[in-house]
Amino acid sequence: MPKLTLPVSLWEGFSPTHTELHHDTLTIHLTPTSPGRCHCGQPVTQVHDVSSRTVQERDILGYRTLLSLPLRRLRCSGCGVTTESLSWLEPHARQTNLLIHYIEHLLKLMPIKHVNELTGLHWHTLKRLDMQRLTREVMEPDWSQVRRLVMDEFALFKGHRYATVIADADTHQVLWVGEGRSREAIRPFFLQLGEHCQYIEAVAMDMNTAFDLEVAMHCPNAEVVYDLFHVVAKYGREVVDRVRVDRANELKQDKPARRRVKRGRWVLLKNRENMTGKQHAYLEELLAENRSLMVVYLMREQLKELWYADSPDVALNQWQLWWQQVTESGIEPLIRFARKLKPYLKGIVASATYRLHTCKLEGMNNKIKVIKRMAYGYRDSDYFFLKIRAAFPGNAR
């Protein structure tokens, strides 16, 4: 092949002697040009033995590039027999530092599958390199500064398999991710938190009994705050949808009215401030025609106000009024929901003191879904969880 001028400075202590081109692979043969250097930093001239190693370099001119070099073991007066230290190649590595740096950059932007197609490196090799980067870059939290937590769950795989994510409510740093959503599943987090559990002031979560019992066991000074988003979503499923379906069944003889009720699900569940003018008009017409839907819609708006009360006493007064109106409504799905909600009242009232919610975690969950989808799923949960922690390093306090 034609003579190829190569950047010798890439491979300090070695120079290329000749090259071979076979199909799409370029092999560069290197030879030492200086005495070897021990890991202690001393130059060593006495060679114990020499072995041949082939390592992959970053592509040159579109060719997959391999380096063939003699790797020396040196007799250092201080360290004994040791493999020479190279500035551009880590011990036992099969890829140069330049290629590893390039791969690490690609893995921040692309799924392993695509990096595999681009570089030709095996999936497991890419995962190992990415794990090394993540372990190096993901910082351990300053546990002594953590005061408020938010906890939520997300679907790990299809088939009702879940994982739990816990974040610092103030910095939004993901502190821990673990598979499962039971008390036993999240207990390792509190064991890791250790003596700092006593300094936790509040924990925001959905109405998950396993979560709040574990918090009560490990964090004696923490207030549990139940998240508005989850309560309203549950209200939509168990009350609004149930009343809407029942009302549609009552209107079998009035097909236009029945059709309006059946199609009204999204305007009933959507926040008014996010509606278009057409949706506002549709909602007003729907509520004017259906008393039961009007009642549960207004009761939902009143329920939301509990989370914005100025004090716990105000929140309690608002609850008592809401409870009275619920019992007087005579709407069975609404009364049933209120009865199930009542045992969680303390955690709802606590929101007047601690303005916590898991909305930030909901946004994180959406990004987690993107991470999972980009990788076409993860075979290794520990790797996936490390990717999540790297994606949410948190803000400075």
DSSP for 144-202, please give it: GG--EEEEEEEEEETTTEEEEEEEETTT--EEEEEE--SHHHHHHHHHHHGGGGGG--E
Residue 303, pLDDT score: 95
Of all residues in the chain, what percent carry a pLDDT higher than 70?
94
Is the CB of residue 293 less than 8 Å from the CB of residue 245?
no
CA 202/CA 197 separation, integer angstroms: 11
What are the residue ranges spanned by the domains of the chain? Answer: 8-94, 145-227+356-391, 234-352
User: Does 7 score more than 60 pLDDT?
Assistant: no
CA 226/CA 303 separation, integer angstroms: 13
User: pLDDT (tens digit, 9 = 90+) per residue, 196-213?
Assistant: 999 999 999 988 888 999
CA 162/CA 145 separation, integer angstroms: 28
Residue 153, pLDDT score: 87
Q: For the chain, what is the largest distance between any 2 Cα atoms, rounded to a whole number of angstroms?
A: 100
User: Does 376 score more than 70 pLDDT?
Assistant: no
DSSP states of 227-285: -HHHHHHHHIIIIIHHHHHHHHHHTTT-HHHHHHHHTTHHHHHS-GGG--HHHHHHHHH
Residue 325, pLDDT score: 95
Please compute the mean of the pLDDT values over residues 310-330 and round it to a whole number. Answer: 95
The arrangement of secondary structure in 145-227+356-391, i.e. its CATH architecture, is 2-Layer Sandwich (3.30)
Say if pTM beats, i.e. exceeds, 0.85: no
Q: Which helix (H) or strand (E) segment is 129 a member of?
A: helix 123-137
Residue 208, pLDDT score: 82
CA 320/CA 303 separation, integer angstroms: 11
Is the CB of residue 83 less than 8 Å from the CB of residue 71?
yes
User: pLDDT (tens digit, 9 = 90+) per residue, 260-274?
Assistant: 888 888 889 888 888
Of all residues in the chain, what percent carry a pLDDT higher than 90?
57
Average pLDDT, the chain: 89
CA 375/CA 129 separation, integer angstroms: 16
User: Does 1 score more than 50 pLDDT?
Assistant: no
User: Does 397 score more than 80 pLDDT?
Assistant: no
Residue 335, pLDDT score: 96
User: pLDDT (tens digit, 9 = 90+) per residue, 325-363?
Assistant: 999 999 999 999 999 999 999 999 999 999 887 676 677
User: Does 4 score more than 60 pLDDT?
Assistant: no
User: pLDDT (tens digit, 9 = 90+) per residue, 47-105?
Assistant: 999 999 999 999 988 899 999 999 999 999 889 999 999 999 998 899 999 999 999 99
- Answer with the residue of higher pLDDT: 280 or 190: 190
Please compute the mean of the pLDDT values over residues 32-51 and round it to a whole number. Answer: 91
**How does residue 311 score in pLDDT terms, banded at 50, 70 and 90?**
very high
Please compute the mean of the pLDDT values over residues 149-175 and round it to a whole number. Answer: 87
